[in-house]
Structure 1
Amino acid sequence: MQPVMNNTKWRELQTAMYELEEVDTRWRTRCVDNGFVSAWDGEWFYHFSEGGYAYIEWVEIRVESEREREIVLSLLKKIHVPGEVTEHGFKVFGYVPVGQTVEYL
């Protein structure tokens, strides 16, 4: 796996999501070392950075409506993170397999 995010970009994402007042997003992460997927959480300030960012393979961000989708997508495009649109929201990648290309939102 090769990293596509660094601590600065993770903090930028975390801060932007924390400061987003009009949308109450939930998130979950996958650990790059053991594949563990966390439970859905809504607390961006402390919980998201607990333990650091080094092991986040990806974070999924769930939205509940088209309006929320538009707001979050606009924010993700503004901070320019590697990721994709999913059925229920977005996935932002911290790592991708070596040689795999990744699109940026």
Structure 2
Amino acid sequence: MNPLMNETKWNEVRLAMYQLGHLSPQCRTLNVETGYLSAWDGEWFHHFQVGGYKTIEWVEIKVSSRAQFEAVRDALETVHVPGEKTEHGFKVMGYARNGVAVDYLTRFNMPLHPTAFGVG
């Protein structure tokens, strides 16, 4: 596994999600050491940083509306982090497996499908 993020970048993600206010999404993390997948949690100010960031293989961010999708997408693009769009919203990668290419999240590789969230 190759580390892609550091404490500063994870903290930028945490603060960006927290600052979205009522559009702040839920997230869950996968622990790179134990394989533990956390429950969905919407509290970014304290919970996300408990235990530090070194064991986060990835954080998946769940969005539930077009407005939330766009706000999260724009925030992730601003922070400039490695990841991908998922069925729930987004995944920010903390580590990459050897030989696996990872792209950075931008509005160009995260378009909003016209029928997503029942909006179209």
TM bucket normalised to smaller: over 0.9
Give the corresponding residue for 1:59. 59
Aligned residues: 105
Unaligned runs of 5+ in 1: none
Letter of the 2:23 counterpart: V
Give the corresponding residue for 2:88. 88
Q: Is the 8 A contact 2:16 2:75 kept in 1?
A: yes
Aligned counterparts of 2:75 and 2:19: Cα–Cα separation in 1: 11
Query: Over aligned residue pairs, what C-alpha RMSD do you find?
Result: 0.8
Residue-by-residue CA offset, 1:31-71 (whole Å, 9 max, x unaligned): 00111000110110110000000000000000001221111
Unaligned runs of 5+ in 2: 106-120
Alignment of 1:61-76 (within 5 A): 61-76=61-76
Give the corresponding residue for 2:99. 99
Aligned counterparts of 2:22 and 2:79: Cα–Cα separation in 1: 18
User: How far apart are 1:7 and its partner, in Å?
Assistant: 0.5
Q: Secondary structure at the match of 1:48?
A: helix
Letter of the 2:52 counterpart: G
Q: Return the TM-score normalized by structure 2.
A: 0.84
Give the corresponding residue for 1:47. 47
User: How far apart are 1:20 and its partner, in Å?
Assistant: 1.0
Q: Return the TM-score normalized by structure 1.
A: 0.96
Looking at both structures, which has the greater relative contact order when contacts are Cα pairs under 8 Å and sequence separation is at least 6?
A: 1
Letter of the 2:48 counterpart: F
Identity of aligned residues (%): 55
